[in-house]
Structure 1
């Protein structure tokens, strides 16, 4: 019976932390778009779909050996 004196305040503290975490998540827009990530995984992301400032910079290293392989 004496364990209840420990468990009840502990459960109230954990409940308070859970409520605080929920309101923090709502305040920081964690629930803004719930369906977007689910649909985004279904589609391939090509470099042409991205804006130019977000595209990775590609380096072109031309090697003579590569040209020979292309001609063959």
Structure 2
């Protein structure tokens, strides 16, 4: 996990927090990124090509990152 400093639209962040079960802003950003990866991956598969995110998913990299994120949250 990396600490990254970014500027995020507060209205978008508030919407993600409201729509998700995220308890923190960091968790909301993580969920939004995972949702984006999943959506892009599905679109690419539908087109018949495999994007880098989909290749990472087939290798288990995305799931591994999600598990690490959950473990990091529990250990805080």
What range is the shorter-chain TM-score in?
0.3 to 0.5
- TM-score for the superposition, normalised by structure 2: 0.32
Select the structure of larger CA radius of gyration: 1
Structure with the bigger RCO (C-alpha within 8 Å, sep 6+) is 2
TM-score, reference length from structure 1 = 0.33
Higher helix proportion: 2
